[in-house]
Homo-oligomer: A and B are copies of this chain.
Amino acid sequence: MCEASAYLIQDGKEELILENVDELHREGDVIKMINLFGDQKALEARIRMISFVDNKIVLEKP
């Protein structure tokens, strides 16, 4: 399974915001994510990095 965990950088620290992310979509300045269980999260953010080895998404505030 290749689902990823999504983190948002807040005050210099990575805060976990959603686990088991299946899909990520960018629409304008908004990142929308949906996970294995159908849970969704949308927030104004930019992608800093994604690791397909560590199954990790790192977002930051715009």
A residues sitting closer than 8 Å to B (CB atoms) are 2-4, 21-26, 46-53, 55
Contacts and interface: CB of A to CB of B under 8 A. Distances in A.
How many identical chains are in the complex? Answer: 2
Nearest to A53: B22
Interface of A is mostly: strand
Contacts of A22: 51-53
Contacts of A49: 23-26
A52 B21 CA distance: 7
Contacts of A24: 47, 49-50, 52
A4 B23 CA distance: 13
A55 B23 CA distance: 10
A4 to B, nearest CB: 5
